[in-house]
C-alpha cells in the first residue's frame, strides 16, 4: 500500500512546514452492535498552518472508503486525493482547514477501533489503541508524535452506552436510540495518545484531591471500568487505591500538577499489550481483572503497570519524544518508575526491585544479546522499525540504565532534573540532548560521555570477580573484570557473604565503587577473610551479567536457597540462568538447582520465573537424549512441592500450575484428571475456573482430553476467557488434524480476532509436539513475505514469531532459517529482524544442548 510505512525523513519534512492548531473528530458508532456492519462514519476537521504557502502535503488515513475531502472550502476528488493510505493535498495556504469524511473499519486485531461482542451476554464493546500509528485507522491525521494539537471528540453511540475520551464530556444529547457525547478539547497531545472507549461498561468512581504548593486544590475525578460480565470479579477498590498512592508519589517527586483533568482506567477485552498511557483515559488488558485465584505476583504486576502508565502522564504525554528514535524517553522512564513507585509510594509490594532484577532484566539480557540488538537511543527509520522497538532494550534495559544513572548522579539530582524537564518542555517534544543538558545542570556530572557509553551503544557487559587468598584464607586481591564490546562505567556494590550461626548466607561486607575499564581493584577487601560467596552488582545498581569465581559457584550449587536476602538470592538465580543460556552451565545442572532450592524460594514472583525457566531449559537447552528424564524430574518435583506447600497459599497454587505445565506420566496425569473430576484433592487447593483450564490443557497436550470433554468445559465457561482457553486446548492436542486446524485457522483466513490467533498459535507450538510441527517448517518460510504484506503488523508479528519452528532444535532447521535470510535480502527489514532473532534463539539452544551433552 503506497505510503503506509511512514518514514522518519517524510515526518521530518512534514513537521518542518506544518503547525497543527486543532483537530475536531466526529465518530458515529451506532452500527457497532450489528455484527454485519463493517464500518463506522468518521469526519475529521484539521486546522493547521503552513510555513510555505503553495506547498503540498499529505494526511494519513487507513479506511475502506473516503466520501469527501475539502480543503479551505474547495472540494477535492476523493478518488484522486486518496491512495489507500494517504490523502494528498496541494496548494496549501498559510492557514488551512481540511475536512475528511470517511468510512473506517471496525478492528478485530486490536489496532484502531477494536470491536468485541461478549459471548456471556451478547453486549458489544469498543475501545481504541493506536501506538505507534493506528489513529489513522479511525480518523484522518498527521500521524507523527511531534505534530501535537488539541483534540475535540464528538461520538454518537447507542443510547444504552457510555463513552469516554481523553477529556471530560461537556454535553450528552439524546435522540431516538442514540446519544451524542461532546467532549471538551484536550491539551496539546500526540495523535497516538488519543482515545475513545464506548459500550455498556461497569464503572466504579472515586476522586483524588491534593492541595498544591500555591494553596489551590487539585481535584481529579477517578474511574475504573470493565465489561459487565466481569463486574463480579472487579476489585476496583484495590486498583483505585494504588492509583491514589501513585498520584501522591508522582506529585511529590515531579512537582508538576497532573495536567489532564480526570483519570479513567478502562480494562478492555482482546488487548494486544499490557496497557496504554492515553492521557486521562488509560486502557489495560482485561486479564488484569482476575476471574480466579492468582498469586500475589499477579497483583504486584498489575500495580506496577498502573504506576508505569501513570508515570507516562508526565514522561511521554506531557513531554513527548520528537520521533520514535527517542522512544526510551518515555518507556525506559515509565518502566523504571513502575518499580521505583511501588516501593516509594508505600504500596504493599515492597519487593518490586526483586521482581525487576529477576524478571524484567531477563527480558533485557535476552534482547540485548540478539544480533539485532540496538542502542537504547535507536535508529528508527520508519513505522515498522518503531513497532518492533517496543522491546526489552527500550523498556527493561533502559529502566536498568536509569537505575544506574540514579546511582551515578544521585536521586536528588535525577528528580530535580525531571522537574526542570517538565517545566521547560511541557506539551512539547524533546530529544536526548534536551534531557541530558538538564541532568548535567542538576548533577554537575558530564553525562554526554555517560550517555555515549550507556544510551548510544548496544550490548551487555559481563562482570567477573577475580579473587586470590593466602594460605591463611585472607584476601590478597579482589578485582572486577569487565568484558564486552564497549567497556562502560558502572557504579556497583560488591557483597561478601558467609554463613551465620543458623547456616544462612548473609552479607558480611559491602563495598561500593566505580568500575571502569577492563579491570578494577576492590582495595578495601584486601586482608579480609575469604568469603563463601562473592556477589558482584549487589543491590542490583547497574545493568550487567555477573559471573562467579569457582568457590562462589560451588557455594551456590550447595546452598543457593540459603541466601537470606531476597534481592541477593534473585540476582544469584538470574546469574545461573544466564550461565545456562550462555552454554556455560549444563541445562541439567540448572534444573537440579531449581529442584533442590525452588521449594525454599519465598518470593512468589521469583518462584514462578524459576518454573518458566526450568521448563524452557528442558524443552530447548537440554540434550534431547536427557529431555525425557528432565521432564519427568520436573513433574515429580512439582508434585512433591505441591503436596508439601502450605494449604491455600500462593506457593501451592504456583506448584499446581507448574504441575499442569509438566505433567507427563500416569501418576501426574491421573492426579490432574482427579482434580478436575473431584475424585482427588489437595488440601487447601481450590480448583477454580482458570486452574481447571490449565489442567485441561495438560490433558489435551497429552492426548487425554476429548473434543466432547473440552466442549463440556466451554459450555460451563462460555466467556471470552473460556473461548480462548478452549481454542488453545483444541490446538494443543497431539494429532496431525489438530495442528492442521490451528495452522489453517490462522494462516488461511484473517477472520479470527487477535486473541484467538494467539490461542491457536500457543496450542500449536507445544514443544513436546515437535515431531508433528516439524512438517510446517518449510511452509512457514514460504509464506513469510505474504503474511507480512497482507496482515496488519500486529498479527504478522504474532505469526512470524509464534509459528517459527523453535522447538525443532536441529541443524536442519537452522539451515532453513539461514537459507531464507540469505535468499531474501530485500525483505522488509522488520520482518528480517524477527526471523533473525528467532534464528538466534535456535542457535543458542543448539549451543546449550551441546554443553548439556558434554
- Phi then psi for residue 535, to 5 deg, are -115, 105
Closest CA to 106 of 58, 138, 141, 154: 138
624-644 helix and 650-662 helix, angle to the nearest 10 degrees: 150
* 309 part of the active site: yes
Closest CA to 571 of 599, 600, 603, 618: 603
Cell numbers representing residue 121 in the block = 451476554
720-732 helix and 736-747 helix, angle to the nearest 10 degrees: 130
SS3 274: coil
Closest CA to 6 of 430, 381, 379: 381
Buried b (16+ CB within 10 A) or exposed e, 148-187: bbbbbbbbbbbeebbbbbbbebeeeeeeeebbbbebbbbb
| Distance of alpha carbon 233 from alpha carbon 465, whole angstroms | 50
C-alpha triplet 124, 128, 133: angle, nearest 5°: 150
CB 664 within 8 A of CB 631: yes
Cell numbers representing residue 683 in the block = 488440601
CB 709 within 8 A of CB 677: no
SS3 802: helix
Query: How far is CA 305 from each of CA 96, 250, 268, 680, rounded to the nearest angstrom?
Result: 40, 15, 15, 37
Q: What is the DSSP letter of 362?
A: H
Cell numbers representing residue 376 in the block = 537504547
| Distance of alpha carbon 406 from alpha carbon 212, whole angstroms | 27
* Active-site residue, from 101, 123, 309, 641: 309
Partners of 507 in beta bridges: 497
Radius of gyration over every alpha carbon of the chain, rounded to an integer in angstroms: 28
For the chain, the farthest-separated pair of C-alpha atoms sits apart, in whole angstroms, at 93
C-alpha triplet 315, 257, 321: angle, nearest 5°: 20
- Phi then psi for residue 473, to 5 deg, are 80, 20
Q: What is the DSSP letter of 230?
A: G
SS3 731: helix
Burial of residue 485, with CB atoms counted within 10 A of its CB: 0-12 exposed, 13-18 middle, 19 or more buried: exposed
Cell numbers representing residue 139 in the block = 480518523
| Distance of alpha carbon 106 from alpha carbon 103, whole angstroms | 10
| Distance of alpha carbon 776 from alpha carbon 731, whole angstroms | 14
Tell me the catalytic residues.
309
Amino acid at each position: 500500500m503506497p505510503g503506509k510505512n511512514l518514514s522518519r525523513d517524510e515526518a521530518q519534512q512534514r513537521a518542518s512546514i506544518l503547525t497543527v492548531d486543532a483537530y475536531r473528530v466526529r465518530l458515529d458508532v451506532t452500527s457497532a452492535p450489528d455484527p454485519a456492519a463493517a464500518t463506522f462514519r468518521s469526519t475529521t476537521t484539521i486546522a493547521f498552518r503552513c510555513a510555505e504557502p503553495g506547498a503540498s502535503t499529505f494526511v494519513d488515513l487507513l479506511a475502506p472508503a473516503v466520501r469527501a475531502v475539502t480543503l479551505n472550502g474547495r472540494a477535492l476528488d476523493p478518488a484522486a486525493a486518496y491512495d489507500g493510505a494517504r490523502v494528498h493535498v496541494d496548494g496549501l495556504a498559510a492557514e488551512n482547514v481540511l475536512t475528511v469524511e470517511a468510512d473506517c473499519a471496525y478492528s478485530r486485531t486490536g489496532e484502531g477501533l477494536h470491536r468485541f461482542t461478549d459471548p456471556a451476554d451478547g453486549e458489544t464493546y469498543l475501545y481504541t489503541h493506536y501506538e505507534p500509528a493506528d489513529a489513522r485507522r479511525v480518523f484522518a491525521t498527521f500521524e507523527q508524535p511531534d505534530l501535537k494539537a488539541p483534540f475535540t471528540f464528538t461520538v454518537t453511540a447507542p443510547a444504552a452506552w457510555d463513552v469516554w475520551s481523553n477529556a471530560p464530556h461537556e454535553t450528552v444529547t439524546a435522540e431516538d436510540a442514540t446519544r451524542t457525547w461532546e467532549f471538551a478539547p484536550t491539551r496539546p497531545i500526540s495523535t497516538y495518545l488519543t482515545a475513545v472507549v464506548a459500550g455498556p461498561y461497569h464503572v466504579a468512581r472515586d476522586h483524588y484531591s491534593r492541595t498544591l504548593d500555591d494553596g489551590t486544590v487539585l481535584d481529579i475525578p477517578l474511574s475504573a471500568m470493565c465489561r459487565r460480565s466481569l463486574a463480579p470479579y472487579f476489585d476496583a477498590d484495590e486498583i483505585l487505591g494504588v492509583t491514589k498512592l501513585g498520584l501522591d508519589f508522582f506529585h511529590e517527586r515531579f512537582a508538576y500538577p497532573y495536567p489532564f483533568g480526570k483519570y479513567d482506567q478502562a480494562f478492555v477485552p482482546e488487548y494486544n499489550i499490557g496497557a496504554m498511557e492515553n492521557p486521562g483515559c488509560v486502557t489495560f488488558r482485561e486479564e488484569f481483572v482476575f476471574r480466579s485465584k492468582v498469586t500475589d505476583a499477579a497483583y504486584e504486576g498489575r500495580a506496577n503497570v498502573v504506576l508505569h502508565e501513570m508515570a507516562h502522564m508526565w514522561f511521554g504525554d506531557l513531554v513527548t519524544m520528537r520521533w520514535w528514535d527517542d522512544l526510551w524517553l518515555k518507556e525506559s522512564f515509565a518502566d523504571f518508575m513502575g518499580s521505583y513507585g511501588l516501593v516509594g509510594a508505600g504500596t504493599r509490594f515492597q519487593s518490586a526491585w526483586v521482581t525487576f532484577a529477576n524478571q524484567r532484566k531477563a527480558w533485557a539480557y535476552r534482547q540485548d544479546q540478539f544480533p539485532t540488538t540496538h542502542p537504547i537511543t535507536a535508529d528508527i527509520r520508519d513505522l515498522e522499525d518503531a513497532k518492533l522497538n517496543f522491546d526489552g532494550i527500550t523498556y527493561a534495559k533502559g529502566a536498568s540504565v536509569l537505575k544506574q544513572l540514579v546511582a551515578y548522579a544521585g536521586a536528588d539530582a535525577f528528580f530535580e532534573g525531571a522537574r526542570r524537564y517538565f517545566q521547560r518542555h511541557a506539551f512539547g517534544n524533546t530529544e536526548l540532548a534536551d534531557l541530558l543538558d538538564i541532568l548535567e545542570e542538576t548533577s554537575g556530572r558530564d553525562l554526554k560521555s555517560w550517555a555515549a557509553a550507556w544510551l548510544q551503544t548496544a550490548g551487555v557487559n559481563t562482570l567477573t570477580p577475580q579473587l586470590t587468598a593466602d594460605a591463611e584464607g585472607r584476601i590478597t586481591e579482589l578485582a572486577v573484570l569487565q568484558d564486552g564490546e564497549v567497556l562502560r562505567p558502572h557504579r556497583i556494590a560488591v557483597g561478601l557473604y558467609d554463613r551465620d550461626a543458623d547456616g544462612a548466607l548473609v552479607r558480611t561486607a559491602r563495598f561500593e565503587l566505580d568500575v571502569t575499564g577492563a579491570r578494577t581493584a576492590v582495595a578495601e577487601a584486601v586482608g579480609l577473610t575469604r568469603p563463601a560467596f562473592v556477589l558482584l552488582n549487589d543491590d542490583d545498581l547497574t545493568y550487567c551479567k555477573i559471573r562467579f569465581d569457582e568457590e562462589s559457584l560451588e557455594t551456590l550449587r550447595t546452598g543457593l536457597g540459603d541466601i537470606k536476602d531476597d534481592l541477593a538470592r534473585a540476582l544469584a538465580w538470574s546469574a545461573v540462568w544466564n550461565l545456562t543460556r550462555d552454554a556455560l552451565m549444563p541445562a541439567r545442572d540448572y534444573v537440579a538447582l531449581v529442584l533442590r532450592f525452588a521449594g525454599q524460594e519465598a518470593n512468589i514472583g521469583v518462584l514462578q520465573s524459576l518454573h518458566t525457566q526450568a521448563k524452557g531449559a528442558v524443552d530447548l537447552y537440554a540434550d534431547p537424549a536427557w529431555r525425557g528424564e528432565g521432564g519427568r524430574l520436573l513433574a515429580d518435583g512439582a508434585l512433591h512441592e505441591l503436596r508439601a506447600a502450605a494449604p491455600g497459599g500462593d506457593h501451592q497454587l504456583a506448584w499446581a500450575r507448574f504441575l499442569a505445565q509438566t505433567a507427563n506420566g500416569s501418576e501426574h496425569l491421573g492426579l490432574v484428571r482427579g482434580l478436575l473430576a473431584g475424585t482427588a484433592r489437595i488440601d487447601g487447593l481450590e480448583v477454580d475456573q482458570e486452574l481447571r483450564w490449565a489442567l485441561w490443557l495438560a490433558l489435551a497436550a497429552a492426548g487425554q482430553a476429548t473434543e466432547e470433554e473440552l466442549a463440556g468445559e466451554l459450555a460451563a465457561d462460555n466467556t471470552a476467557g473460556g473461548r480462548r482457553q478452549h481454542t488453545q486446548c483444541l490446538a494443543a492436542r497431539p494429532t496431525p488434524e489438530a495442528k492442521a486446524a490451528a495452522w489453517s485457522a490462522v494462516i488461511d483466513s484473517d477472520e479470527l480476532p487477535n486473541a484467538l490467533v494467539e490461542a491457536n498459535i500457543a496450542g500449536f507450538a507445544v514443544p513436546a509436539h515437535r515431531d508433528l510441527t516439524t512438517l510446517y517448517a518449510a511452509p512457514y518460510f514460504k509464506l513469510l513475505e505474504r503474511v507480512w504484506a497482507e496482515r496488519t503488523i500486529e498479527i504478522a508479528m504474532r505469526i512470524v514469531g509464534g509459528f517459527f519452528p523453535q522447538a525443532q532444535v536441529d541443524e536442519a532447521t537452522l539451515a532453513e532459517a539461514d537459507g531464507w535470510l540469505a535468499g531474501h535480502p530485500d525483505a522488509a527489514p522488520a520482518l528480517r529482524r524477527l526471523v533473525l532473532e528467532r534464528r538466534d534463539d535456535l542457535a543458542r539452544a543448539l549451543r546449550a544442548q551441546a554443553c548439556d551433552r558434554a
